[in-house]
Amino acid sequence: MDFLSLLSFLTFFLIVASVYSVACLGLNMQWGFTGLFNVGVVGFFAIGAYASAILTGPDYPDTLLGGFGLPVIVGFAGAVIAAGLAGLLVGFVTLRLREDFLAISTFGIAISIQLVALNFSRLTRGPDGLYSLPKPFSGVSTSVLVDNLFYLAICAVSIGVVYWGLERMVRSPWGRVLRAIREDETAALALGKNVFRYRLQAFVVGCAVMGLSGALYANFVGFISPQDFIPIFTFQVFIMLIVGGSGNNLGAILGGVVVWALWSGSGALIAGILPPTIQTQAASVRIVLIGLGLVLMLLYRPAGILREKRIVSQEARLPDGVAGGRAAGPGD
């Protein structure tokens, strides 16, 4: 393999890993910081992908709306808004449920979204999918590698902006309330916090980030169909977050890269070892390998590669005998 071929492969690998990492950041806001068991990640990913495809794609004469041909940045913004609004609707209905019931309901909603995309052909073209989706800077060069390098830069900027925004949110008083709800919802209620409102806000933010991930995917591959949004995507993202470190945004990014490397690397390993006649049947081996890796991670490093950072309040950092900026008296 020559240098250009290796660079092309690494660029493609990092773009796909970036898509997964953005989805992991969205799930980390819900599961890692708030304890919301959302098993419908792929549904909000699909909403973002279709929103960006409809806004940026060419005119589809056989659809209800057609493609608007807007700039890709508008498609990304539309994906964030559409997925966020969907998260608001879904969260308002489901977030009063607890744990396994929330998981079941969000999983069902994700399946319903895929079925809508499959059957509402007047909007999504059904199984035929939406095609010719534009990629930013695709006209700058005639080289696919250069186009992909530009797109990788866009993905890196997207991850940086999302990471910066989420870090500021979780380190704020709002984020401390989310962690308090995750650890002990009853105690948060006793302190007068509107638990449902905070849970809903975190759910909407996470869904909006998942929508951005879907938009990054759609405009990179240039074609989407309902077959792209199957439940295994949700479980891949959960595995990435667990391996990287739930409750740690850097861990979410790292988990996306590491697990995708294992996923794609195991596929190449199977292709190189097994004869072509049984490679299709043996494709499930990669799932077994990833599952084995997850079991080993849970046994030997259950907090993930990067553990959740312990955040200490400003008052707790003050010297002994001082509380809230004044000398501590007998009643403190």
Map residue 289 onto helix, strand or coil. Answer: helix
Tell me which H or E stretch contains 15.
helix 3-27
**What single-letter amino acid sits at 326?**
R
pLDDT at position 315 over 70: no
- Per the model's pLDDT, the better-predicted residue between 38 and 293 turns out to be 38
In contact, 69 and 211? CB cutoff 8 Å: no
pLDDT of residue 319: 54
Per-residue pLDDT band at 281 (split at 50, 70, 90) = low
pLDDT of residue 310: 72
The pTM assigned to this predicted structure is 0.91
pLDDT at position 220 over 90: yes
Per-residue pLDDT band at 114 (split at 50, 70, 90) = very high
Q: Rounded distance, CA 1 to CA 292, Å?
A: 30
Mean pLDDT of 141-155: 90
pLDDT at position 214 over 90: yes
- Per the model's pLDDT, the better-predicted residue between 89 and 142 turns out to be 89
pLDDT of residue 1: 63
Rounded to 10 degrees, what is the CA torsion of 222, 227, 232, 235? 50
167 closest CA partner among 258, 73, 33, 76: 33
Q: What is the 3-state secondary structure (H, E, C) of 54-108?
A: HHHCCCCCCCCCCCCCCCHHHHHHHHHHHHHHHHHHHHHHHCCCCHHHHHHHHHH
Map residue 123 onto helix, strand or coil. Answer: helix
Mean pLDDT of 44-69: 91
pLDDT at position 42 over 60: yes
308 closest CA partner among 111, 175, 218, 141: 175
Number of other CB atoms surrounding residue 54 within 10 Å = 25
Q: Rounded distance, CA 292 to CA 289, Å?
A: 5
In the chain, pLDDT over 70 holds for what percent of residues? 91
